[in-house]
Structure 1
Amino acid sequence: MSDASRVLLGLGGCVDYEIELTAVVLEELITSYGIRSAELTKPPAVVGSERDLVVSILGYVARGGGGEHFVASAPALSTFAGRFSPRTTLGGTSVRAGLLLDRLGIASTLHLVTVNDDFRRLLPTGGDWFTSGTEDTFYPHLIVQFSQGLHVAAGDIAITSPFPNRLIYVNDPANDTMLLDDELGPRLAKAEVFLISGFNAMRDAALLDERLRVLRTHMEQLPPSAVTYFEDAAYHEPAFSARVRAALLDRIDVYGLNEDELQSYLGRTVDLLDPADVAAAVTELFTLIPAPAVVLHTKYWAAVFGARAGDYAEAVDAGIVTAATRYVHGDAMTVEDVEATRRRPRRPAAFADALEQQFDGPARVVGGFVLDVDNPTTVGLGDTFVGGFLSAIAGAHR
């Protein structure tokens, strides 16, 4: 196991209650709450009750989409989770990336904002962690997974999910305030890789600006050779994403996001299998995110664009391989499973070649795998991609 101080992962983390949706429970709730199909096209702006939560979930199932939302009612989360058989895991991009790195034999250090007995039980023993929290806190996130082909029919609602996906619903004061520990700067002074994630959960503009100011101060201690990776997410207050970019973009080496975030920024659907449409979307994206390297990871492929694209092609491939392995094997994935995934057939190379030719600038596109899985894992795929990507960067810095 390598030195944990080399890789610092932040900034938050959480306990997750993972559930798998079933048609039976959803149909019962549709009937009992009197939910109508027209409501699914305009979900509630604020999730303040279990009924609102069900309407929100059904809208995503209908289009096979993924997302993340703040929930005003914490009891609604626990009530809904209790209707299934929730599995307790650890979540947050930094934590799941750290769990993956641990499986690959790379130790890391986690900056946390909340700790409890579940954390102490489930965190890997080979790494290190520190926390800004002064006492144990417990704010579980609801992670909703659904399969492709999930069919729900009740009242005037009849929907079938076209894709498998996952949803995240949150009421978490610790990640909402994102207090940074005073040790962060001194620990960054020893880091070779730094992951920034988690600001998407904040909902107070003034507090967000203050946290970003403090983070920049801590980052002054990073060695010049360190690689800083920023992973985007669905912001509970969408306008805040621009504040975060404005504060940090000049300190970010690699900016990562998925197709949901891409389409949200552009305000339109992007055909992920049309090279011309993707090239136009990425060109437009660069007006918002002119980072040295922008990593876009999707269900079909992943790519890196920008002046430094050539430096990170192998890291993109490592991310695709590890995410695909999790899709097939879930939390049980092993190093042997990762190696087996590498031998699976890939999607045809024609798309990757065409996109690299279409894009006006450096681009490296890596095709995904052909995966036919009865019960795939859709939770934590993006986080695992990040962990795989960072494993290649950490390996290069040894």
Structure 2
Amino acid sequence: MSTRYVLGLGGTVDYEIAWTPDVLDRLVAEHAITPDELDVHVPIGSERDLLRTLLAFVRDGVGGERFVASSDIVAAFAGHFPVRVTLGGTCVRAAIAMDVLGLASTVHLVSIDDHVRRLLPASTSYLCSAESDSLDPHLIVQFPAGTTIRVGSDEVVAPHPNRIIYVNDPPNRELLLHPGLPDAMADADVVLVSGFNVIQDAETLEHRLADVRKGLQRLAPGALAYFEDAGYHVPALARRVRDELSGLVDVYAMNEDELQSWLGRTVDLLDADDVAAALVELASVVPAPTRVVHTKHWALAHGGDAERYRAPLLGGITMAGTRYVHGDGFTPDDYAATGTTTPQPEGVAFAAALESVLPSAVCVPAFALDTAAPTTIGLGDTFVGGFLAAAGRA
């Protein structure tokens, strides 16, 4: 019998803009933005505010997700650039990645429109809680390393490639769940939970957690429950999700940004002693059976069942690496080719050192990948798809 995957909790329609420095130079000049105004934390109530945060992200070479006061701001800003419409959300991108390997899944959606119907893989079925069509696009901005934008008398230069997400999405903010979701979860072999980070109201969160709890408590023996953490629009709500889900899921996963957010400090991702100390600290903060952390250098599992996830970690790294090089539309042959690529030397050294100093951790190095046009959008979501695909086949 084939593995039954149920992936939740919400998908998105994404407007991916083409990075166009001359347009950005023009917008910076039109809005008279000065270097001292760049701030990733400023509330985004206008195109000007969005641009201030975008330039700050580029300056720092980091990614993130920010709430925007209106979807109109997203649409207006996207209107300055060439735009490609894609599907996003952790569950949907994971399903798309798994479809490449011939794996069917069921996704849970909270909104739908003709973009979703057109772009969702034919192998992917869905439950949708929406009673009518709606469109609240997410703005996805991907920038390359070394890109330069003139800001007043200064230049902003990106030290690393990355991506930023700008969003005002009422259906995902409400995250209304389909009444059939608990039954679907009860029949599943692998369940993905994600998407709580967009909720901004504590009472709404409590209702959604209660609904998901019903499904998780009905999982069959041996079924895998995986939670993917994210950047919360209301950071205080992350603790409530942790309190509820740490004891209900098998894997509590995150990237390096969420790791550092939980610890309240930066972590040197290539220093085995620093990461080992961070993992020990994280275990007390997020007491799930196994914690997974995925980065551009490596992916690891830490906890009592860590060794069980060595192959899924490699599956996740391979899938994310394939997307990094090939973007959307990669093939099974692309995936297979990525798996034969030489691992990053620094990642190999780190993985060996970490497993030596922290035997309760399993670490798999990322691949040494070189491309002139890397895709940084959706790598974490694609990692999840690769991880779950391999876990379901184990």
Q: Same fold (TM over 0.5)?
A: yes
Asked if structure 2 preserves the Cα contact closer than 8 Å seen for 1:93 and 1:383, the reply is yes
Matches within 5 A, 1:61-100: 61-100=58-97
Match of 1:350 in 2: 349
Q: AA paired with 1:312?
A: Y
Q: Is residue 2:268 matched to residue 1:271? A: yes
The superposition leaves residues 195-223 of structure 1 with CA deviations (integer Å, 9 ceiling, x where unpaired) of 00001010011111111112112323221
User: Shift of residue 280 of structure 1?
Assistant: 1.5
Q: Is residue 2:141 matched to residue 1:144? A: yes
Matches within 5 A, 1:20-31: 20-31=18-29
The superposition leaves residues 224-257 of structure 1 with CA deviations (integer Å, 9 ceiling, x where unpaired) of 2210000011111111110111111111101110
Match of 2:258 in 1: 261
> 2:215 and 2:186 mapped to 1: Cα distance?
9
Match of 1:250 in 2: 247
Match of 2:362 in 1: 364
Asked if structure 2 preserves the Cα contact closer than 8 Å seen for 1:44 and 1:55, the reply is no
Q: AA paired with 1:27?
A: D
Matches within 5 A, 1:1-398: 6-40=4-38, 42-348=39-345, 349-359=348-358, 361-396=359-394
Q: AA paired with 1:373?
A: T
Asked if structure 2 preserves the Cα contact closer than 8 Å seen for 1:188 and 1:219, the reply is yes
Asked if structure 1 preserves the Cα contact closer than 8 Å seen for 2:344 and 2:367, the reply is yes
Asked if structure 1 preserves the Cα contact closer than 8 Å seen for 2:300 and 2:362, the reply is yes
Q: AA paired with 1:331?
A: D
- Between the two proteins, what is the percent identity of the paired residues? 50
Q: Which moved more, 1:274-283 or 1:97-106?
A: 274-283
Q: AA paired with 2:306?
A: A
Q: AA paired with 2:376?
A: T
> 1:171 and 1:131 mapped to 2: Cα distance?
19
The superposition leaves residues 86-121 of structure 1 with CA deviations (integer Å, 9 ceiling, x where unpaired) of 100000000000001111011000111001101110
Q: AA paired with 1:79?
A: A
Segments of structure 1 that go 5 or more residues without pairing to the other structure are: none
Q: AA paired with 1:26?
A: L
Q: AA paired with 1:358?
A: V
Asked if structure 2 preserves the Cα contact closer than 8 Å seen for 1:111 and 1:131, the reply is yes
TM, length-normalised to structure 1: 0.96
The superposition leaves residues 66-87 of structure 1 with CA deviations (integer Å, 9 ceiling, x where unpaired) of 1011111221111111111110
> 2:354 and 2:41 mapped to 1: Cα distance?
37
User: Shift of residue 44 of structure 1?
Assistant: 4.4
SS in 2 for 1:250: coil
The superposition leaves residues 356-393 of structure 1 with CA deviations (integer Å, 9 ceiling, x where unpaired) of 1222x411111111111100111010000000000011
> 2:20 and 2:277 mapped to 1: Cα distance?
38
User: Shift of residue 154 of structure 1?
Assistant: 3.0
Query: Kindly tell me: are residues 131 and 372 of structure 1, through their superposed partners in 2, closer, same or farther at Cα, counting changes over 3 Å?
Result: same
Asked if structure 2 preserves the Cα contact closer than 8 Å seen for 1:352 and 1:365, the reply is yes
SS in 2 for 1:133: coil
User: Shift of residue 3 of structure 1?
Assistant: 5.0
Asked if structure 2 preserves the Cα contact closer than 8 Å seen for 1:44 and 1:52, the reply is no
What is the root-mean-square deviation of aligned Cα atoms in Å?
1.3
Asked if structure 2 preserves the Cα contact closer than 8 Å seen for 1:3 and 1:108, the reply is no
User: Shift of residue 300 of structure 1?
Assistant: 0.9
> 1:220 and 1:182 mapped to 2: Cα distance?
15
User: Shift of residue 183 of structure 1?
Assistant: 0.4
> 1:255 and 1:363 mapped to 2: Cα distance?
14
User: Shift of residue 268 of structure 1?
Assistant: 2.1
